[in-house]
Amino acid sequence: MLLVPTVVLADETSQNPAQLEQSLNSFAKNNKEADFDSATVKGKTITLKVADDYIEAPVKNGGRRSFIHHLYKQVAKIQKQNGTKYSIVIKDNWTGTFAKMNYKGKGWYTLYGHSTETETEKCNFATLEDGDM
């Protein structure tokens, strides 16, 4: 009889959200290129906290999209290292939630402005393509 060792492959549901959160916060604290201040992980959602001045005046919509694209790339790299595929929410103290996307980068962001009605635009932050998601 031949005994073959079995290997149990971890899927994304068995990943430790605390480990992912620790990896994200370590990156934010120790990497001068980090575009976010801190991260929390609840369920399968990563919430990134950024400084208010990253996306406010004089940054307009093109700069906002570019900024979120860089955030996405940073988090995607860390998620790949941790074997996770979680959605991403980005917020600051002043605006609140201003972007949300799935793990592939497809989502929306709020347009620049402070009227009572917040306009949003869809975007694939992995590729910076516009359009329907």
pTM of the full structure: 0.81
Structural domain includes residue 4: no
The two tokens of residue 29 are 């604290």
Query: Does 120 map to a domain?
Result: yes
Q: How many domains is the chain built from?
A: 1
pLDDT-derived band at 119, boundaries 50, 70, 90: confident
Residue 89's SS3 state is strand
Mean pLDDT of the chain: 83
pLDDT tens readout for residues 20-32: 999 999 999 999 9
**Phi and psi of 87, rounded to 5°?**
-75, 165
Domain hosting 33: range is 16-130
Task: Answer yes or no: is 59 within a domain.
Answer: yes
Comparison of pLDDT for 98 and 3, the residue scoring more: 98
